[in-house]
Structures are given as structure tokens and as C-alpha cells.
Amino acid sequence: MASHISDSDLPLSRYKVLDLTIARAGPVAVRLLADWGADVTRVEATVDRGSVTGRRRGADEQNLHRNKRSLCLDLKSPQGAEVLRRLIAQSDVVVENFRSAVKERLGLTYAQLKTINPRIILASISGFGQDGPYSDRPGVDQIVQGMCGLSSVTGEPGRGPVRVGIAISDTTAGMFLGQGILLALLHREHTGEGQWVHTSLIESMLNKLDFQAARYTVDGEVAQQQGNSHPTVVPMGTYRSRDGLVNIAASTSRMWEGFCEALGASALRANAAYRDAASRLANRVALDADIDRVTAQFDTADLVARLNPAGVPCGPIYDIGQAFEDPQVQHLRMTRPAAHPAMGEIALVRSAINLSACPHPERFHHAGPDPGEQSDALLRELGYDDPAIARLRGEGAVA
């Protein structure tokens, strides 16, 4: 049973983070820091221009921006720029996803930030990198999925490219940037020096291709679509059951033996065409059809119950609701509550990282804030008194 800990006990509680990001990738990086205790100030525009992730009180925005505080600031005004300078001076990390020209104009390049705070870490995220021929292009998940090659290996052979059903390049780039920030903080612990950390959606996804990428860079082999089948090991894929479909992985010789024994498939085991891994790969189409004839005699639950104890990974194919209601997921408690003043108690998805010395807090300490919800409190922390705050609001520098 996890013990209760306070926010100040979390590993990043001594760090202040300034979140200047929009869309999804940058907020994912900041969410990693916020969930583990960082004091995050989210700076937002004084005029609501909408968001690709939806309404602030919608599920997506709440899940992205929990544990953050919001300050609405006009960065283009002199007064807003002064507030920003004060924020930078007291921050450990600034996270942004502006174009290079915008960074320069707002005074947010690493060279400019260092003059305000020599220990600052600037963390930047973009579609295609900070320089190069595509650096000024807008980059979104759909475009990057196509350009990195992911769409070309997703889907059924011969039916054209298919996008992965989640914003995988955004979330992957966000996770990599979060890791980069942690590396930079560790480096600063030893050297006292800040630095510029950056990644992009395209870099993150080329890395995420992993063994498919290495098949090309090492062997010159361009991977193709394999549908639900594993591209290089057989059998591993989706098969028919009596009541639907099931995923099975019997890719090693030991697993293959266990599969045949658990399902009484002695004819498959005796078939010379399937005698070893190379044979099974060469005869994939025939083997998959033969496996379908065997597995279709069993219900999904029966296959799961027979194969897993035999050392053969096997699992049902859920929709998202079924996934969250699964007994193992319920045991893992993948959600935690957050109290929202208007929405009440809402359940949000917790960090996937588990630390034995720092159990997950029992609840998120902030729901996703309305834009500017903590503007006055944050300005007071920066040294502005109430008359000064009133002036900033009157001038339109703060909302």
C-alpha cells in the first residue's frame, strides 16, 4: 500500500518551471515535471485564441494541464515583458515551442535568457528542428506520422498508409523533451550551468521507429506494412477466437512448443513446414491460416487462460473503456482524482512512472486551471502589490 506524501516530498518540488507552450507536445513535457512536484506557471495569452486540444474544461485540456497554475500575460507589451523577465529570473526551466523569429523577438533565445538567469535551462520543441530547411514549417502529428515513415508501416498490406490512432509524435516528443530537461537539471547539479535542450516531432519519431529504422540504416531494408502481424517474428499477431479476436505471441521455439501443447495442436507441431523460426517466417501466410483454424475452436477467455500459464503471451483486444476496467489496470490505479471548482471531482490518468521512495500522490493538487485563474496570486509572488496588479490589468498586460 502506497504511503501518503506531501507535494514538497516529490522529487522535483524544488524546481520552478515556466510553461510557454501551446498544443500538445510541449504540455506533455511540462506535465511530466508537474506530476512529480515542479512548481509550474503556465503563461497564456490575454485573448483566448482557442486550442487544438479543445476547451480548458474539456477532458483533454484537463489531462494536459493538471498540477499547473495559469497566468494570462501579453508578452508583446512592455509591462508584460517585464513580468516575464521576473518569472525567468526565478525559474529553473523555461519550456517553449515558438518559431525561431518569435523567440528572438520575445527575448526567449537561450543567449537572451542567460543574461537574465545564468542557470536557466531552455527547453524547446518544434516540428522539424531548430534549424535546417524545414525548421520554419508548422509541424503537427498527422504530417510527421507521414514524413517519418510510421504511416507506411501501419495498416494492412496494399491498403495504403494509416495513421496511428493516438497523437504519437506529440506525446513521444514531449516525453523525450521531459527526459532532456531532467538530464539538463542533473548536469546543472554538477556544473552549475544551464543549457538549451531541444527536440522535435520528426527527431523523436525517427528514434521511435527503433528496430524498423535500424533495418534500414544497417541493412538497407525498407520495412513494409504487416497489418496486425509482427514484421519479423512468427507467429505473433491477431487471430480468430470463437467469440472474436485475440492477440497471441508464440515467436520463440519454446513458446511455439507451449502453444501447440496448450491447445492440443499436435498436427501443427509435427508439420515440417513449421519446424523452426526460419520455416515459420517463410510460411507465415499458411501458418496464420492454420493457427486461425485452431484458435477459432476456443473462446478468447479460454485462450488467455490456457496460453499465458504455458509461457505464451496472449491477451484480449479491448476498447479503451474495457482497458481501464480490466482487473490489472484497476489494481494499478491508473487514475487519480482532481478537484475542479466547477466540474467537481474528475479522474485523470496518472504518470506511468513508479518510484518506491515517492509513491504517487493520492490526488492531483490542481485540476487544469482556467486561463488566468492564478494571475493575481502569481503576480504577488513576483513582488507586485494590489495597486500594481490593478494597473497591469488596466493596461491589458495581464488578464
Chunked in runs of 10, what are the mean pLDDT values of the chain (399 residues)? 68 98 96 98 88 80 96 96 98 96 95 98 98 95 98 96 97 98 98 98 98 98 96 96 98 96 97 96 96 98 98 98 98 98 97 96 95 97 98 97
Does residue 214 sit within a domain? Answer: no
Assess contact for 188 and 93: CB atoms under 8 A: no
pLDDT at res. 316: 98
One domain, residues 265 and 387: no
Contact status, residue 72 vs residue 66, Cβ threshold 8 Å: no
Measured distance CA(325)–CA(318) in Å, rounded = 10
Question: Rounded to two decimals, what is the model's pTM?
Answer: 0.94
Q: Which of 35, 170, 290, 386 is catalytic?
A: 170
Q: Which long-range contacts (CB under 8 A, 24 or more apart) does 153-162 make?
A: 153/212, 153/223, 153/224, 153/225, 153/226, 153/231, 154/225, 155/225, 155/227, 156/225, 156/227, 157/224, 157/225, 157/226, 157/227, 158/225, 159/225
- Percentage helix, strand, coil, to 5, in the chain? 45, 15, 40
- What is the domain range of residue 243? 236-317
User: What is 270-305 written as a DSSP string?
Assistant: H-GGGSSHHHHHHTHHHHHHHHHHHHTTS-HHHHHH
Task: Out of 267, 287, 317, pick the residue that ends a domain.
Answer: 317
> Residue 20 maps to which CATH number?
3.40.50.10540
Predicted local distance difference test score (pLDDT) of residue 55: 76
pLDDT of amino acid 399: 96
Domain check: are 292 and 337 in the same one? Answer: no
Residue 170 among the catalytic residues: yes
CATH of the domain at 252: 3.30.1540.10
> Could you tell me if 21 and 148 lie in one domain?
yes
Residue 26 lies in a domain: yes
Residue 53, in any domain of the structure? yes
Most distant CA atoms of the chain, gap in Å: 86
- Is residue 48 situated within a structural domain? yes
31 with 102, same domain: the answer is yes
Does residue 301 fall inside a structural domain? Answer: yes
Number of domains in the chain: 2
Chain-centroid distance, C-alpha 33: 13
Q: Judge if 268 and 136 occupy the same domain.
A: no
β-pair type (68-72, 39-44): parallel
The answer to whether residue 230 is domain-embedded is no
Say if 305 falls within a structural domain: yes
Do 51 and 151 belong to one domain? yes
Residues 197, 83, single domain; the answer is yes
Determine the pLDDT at residue 47. 87
Angle of helix 253-262 relative to helix 300-307, nearest 10 degrees, comes to 130
State whether 242 and 382 are in the same domain: no
